[in-house]
Structure 1
Amino acid sequence: MLERSIRGMKVYVVDSDFFVDYDYAIEKQVIEASGNELILETCKNEQDVMDRCKDADVLMTVLVKLNGTVMDACPNLKGLVRYGIGVDAIDIAAASQRGIPVCNFTDYCIPEVATHAFSMILALSRNLPIFTRNVRQGLWTHGPKGIPMRRASSRTLGLVGFGSIARELCGYAKAMGYHVIAYDPFLPAERFAQMEVQQVTKEELFAQADIISVHTPMTPDTFHMINKDTIAQMKDGVIIINTARGPIICEADLIEALKSGKVAAAGLDVVEFETITTSDHPYASMDNVILSPHAAYDSVESTLDLHRKAANTAVTLCSGELPYNTFNKKDLAH
């Protein structure tokens, strides 16, 4: 134990090649200044992690899954860090059973994701993708007109989830004149009242919203929350935005609804089966769909913020303390 404390702890980034052309200078500076060691790996799966990172004190991941078997293969493990907001890559129950903190970063890209969602709302509401295509094809005003364009003050925006990102988006939308309603079963009524937002049930939101923007985590309860049955409850010509997690929306059902016109348009930063790597995907030929490659989080500022927070979180875990951003804090307390 003395030998281990002298040489410091080992922090592994298991899929360091995710951040292309990034040298991990921030993590190196912070982690090495604390007397610990940063090791960059390019693991592709759980087996790679078990083979290469057995002596890890902290494992940091972007996409590679970390399950109970991986945790058991790392006897010195003191914590797990997910680069990002979602924690789908980590088996939370397995970590909690083993007393291992899981840390994520819900506070590093709030304005970026809110801006991205609002950009999609505005672009689709004003038919910008269709108009751009028309002009490029020399059609000017003679091409397809898209959906009827309406004033913001005549539209109801429904937020599925009312966490930090949704509340940021709410501020943007209210300033533009949108009427905002929100559903979130985990927040007290006071949180909605503070933002002067009408709290509704999920069913009420689906029935009342002209635009629905998804901001809920991916859980067993939210998997396929938007499907053919819930779409049937929505207004004809609804616009759907998803900057949360792809599987919250049943892709097959959304495609059918877009084809039929039940859903007028969709803005998708995430899709159910990521990634889209072929040009023949059904979304690719739809003028009423805006796609981005899971990039809503991205900006120069948010990227630097994420790497700083990740480095400081790793150092805190190495010290044996519980970071502020421990996702499973309540489970560990039990």
Structure 2
Amino acid sequence: MYKVVRTFTFQEGVTLEQEVLKGVADVELRECNQDEDQVIKNCQDADAIIIGYDPITKRVLDSLPNLKLVAFKTIGFNFADVDYAREKGVAVSHISKYCTQEVADYAVGTMLSLNRRIQQFNNSVHIDKQWQYDLFPEMRRFGSQTVGLLGFGNIPRLITQRLKPFGPRVIAYDPYVSPQTAAELGAELVSMEEVLSTADIVSIHLPLNDDTVKIMNKKHLDMLKGNTIFINSARGSLVDEEAVIDALDSGKIRYYAADVVEAEFPDITNHPFASRDDVILTPHIAWFSQESVRDGRIEAAQNVLHFLNGEYDKAQIVNGVKTSR
């Protein structure tokens, strides 16, 4: 039988993974704490590893002689050197379905909350002891505004669906989606520049790769129409954080809602976002629910199962390796 190691812990062990891989692989939990040395030590005999945020570097890949598959239990897979894994003949997979409902809910909930200034009014009452309705005279009806989506994959499509009853115009940028497909789902496909210059609310849902690292830099943030609500529930490194601060100070961004920052585990006591009233900061929770935790574990284990059974097209492989060596 194959050996599969899961490198992170949840509220319980690996019973779900063992159920999915029964008769095909022996599954063990060996926590690695996002440490290269621990990954190398704990995964020596692994044919496949199920990981979250452990660094799968060139050194790690060179040190694991049996490794055939790195299976991320995340949508993002930027913690692995996927190009070198391809050279080594090691497949890398990710999951794409497990938390789409939750992230869409987070994005729309954030839009509604910031549009109505709910947190800000709550702070005014509880902290400032004010009872004043007109603190934000610029407030507008949600349905009269334009929501812009950067990316139009699974999550932005669910966002568009959720926005329909509220009535805002929805525009989206995605070079891999046809205008007809977007229109059928309720969005107008436009250029990135038009999203940024037109939308009152912008939500980013791009993958993180070499082409998108800090794509929201000064050049692109300067295109915003101004007084914009900007939401990032994707990856922190999609934005240039210094440029975001400048955009907040200049008024290009009215509120920045960040579920992610550049570091996956930041020192929040020293992060410049943590001291600002115009930044809504949450600790990477947009994906989380009891259901999404379970779904993600099952989806990742199913990717391993498909791969080990030679069903490579079902394994959600992202680096083109379709062989178990």
Scaled by the length of structure 1, the TM-score of the pair is 0.90
151-160 or 67-76: which moved more?
67-76
Q: How much has 1:249 moved relative to structure 2?
A: 0.9
Q: Is the 8 A contact 2:112 2:142 kept in 1?
A: no
Tell whether 2:110 aligns with 1:120.
Answer: yes
Give the one of 22, 29, 37 matched to 1:40: 29
Per-residue CA shift, 1:191-248, capped at 9, x if unaligned? 2121132111111111111110000001111111112221111111011000110011
Map 1:13-32; keep pairs closer than 5 Å: 13-14=6-7, 16-17=8-9, 19=10, 21-31=11-21
How far apart are the structure 1 equivalents of 2:290 and 2:319? 30
Give SS of 2:104's match.
helix
CA change 1:273–1:78 in 2 (3 A) is closer
- Residues in 2 aligned to 1:116 and 1:30: alpha-carbon distance in whole angstroms: 30
CA shift at 1:323, angstroms? 5.4
Look up the match of 2:181: 191
Assess if the C-alpha contact under 8 Å between 1:27 and 1:38 holds in 2. Answer: yes
Residues 211 and 270 (structure 1), Cα distance of their counterparts in 2 relative to 1, 3 Å cut: same
TM-aligned CA distance change 1:27 to 1:69, over 3 Å = same
Give the equivalent residue in structure 2 for 1:3. none
Residue of structure 1 in register with 2:239 after alignment: 249
Q: Which range moved further: 60-69 or 262-271?
A: 60-69
- Tell me which amino acid in the other structure corresponds to 1:84: T
| In structure 2, distance between residues paired with 1:125 and 1:81 | 38
Separation in 1 of the partners of 2:61 and 2:250? 47
Taking the aligned partners of 1:53 and 1:329, their CA distance within structure 2 comes to: 21
Change (3 A) 1:197 1:228: same
One-letter identity of the residue aligned with 2:27: L
Extract structure 1 runs of 4+ deviating beyond 6 A.
none
Segment drifting more, 237-246 vs 86-95: 86-95
| C-alpha deviation, 1:170, in angstroms | 0.9
Closer/same/farther in 2, CA of residues 272 and 147 from structure 1, 3 Å limit: farther
Give the unaligned 5+ runs of structure 1.
Answer: 1-7
Q: SS state of the match for residue 312, structure 2?
A: coil
- Which residue pairs with 1:182 in the alignment? 172
Task: Report how far residue 160 of structure 1 moved.
Answer: 0.2
Measured in 2, the distance between the counterparts of 1:147 and 1:308 equals: 48
Q: Distance in 1 between matches of 2:18 and 2:199?
A: 47
2:56 alignment partner, SS class: coil
**C-alpha separation in 2, matches of 1:331 and 1:62:** 20
Q: Give the match's secondary structure for 1:191.
A: helix
How far apart, CA to CA, are the structure 1 residues paired with 2:165 and 2:321?
Answer: 39
Give the distance between the partners of 2:76 and 2:120, measured in 1 at CA.
32
Aligned residue number for residue 161 of structure 2? 171
CA distance in 1, matches of 2:173, 2:321: 25
Please tell me the root mean square deviation across aligned C-alpha atoms, in Å: 2.0
Structure 1 195/104 Cα, relative in aligned 2: closer, same or farther at 3 Å? Answer: same
Tell me how far apart the structure 2 counterparts of residues 274 and 328 of structure 1 sit (CA, whole Å): 21
Q: Residue 11 of structure 1: which of 4, 7, 12 is its match?
A: 4
Q: CA deviation at 1:169?
A: 0.3
Which residue matches 2:126?
Answer: 136
Distance 1:313 1:129, change over 3 A: same
Question: What is the alpha-carbon distance in structure 1 between the residues aligned to residue 294 and residue 187 of structure 2?
Answer: 32
Consecutive unaligned residues of structure 2, counting only runs of 5 or more, are none
CA distance in 2, matches of 1:133, 1:60: 42
- State whether residues 212 and 238 of structure 1, in contact with CA within 8 Å, keep that contact through their aligned partners in structure 2: yes
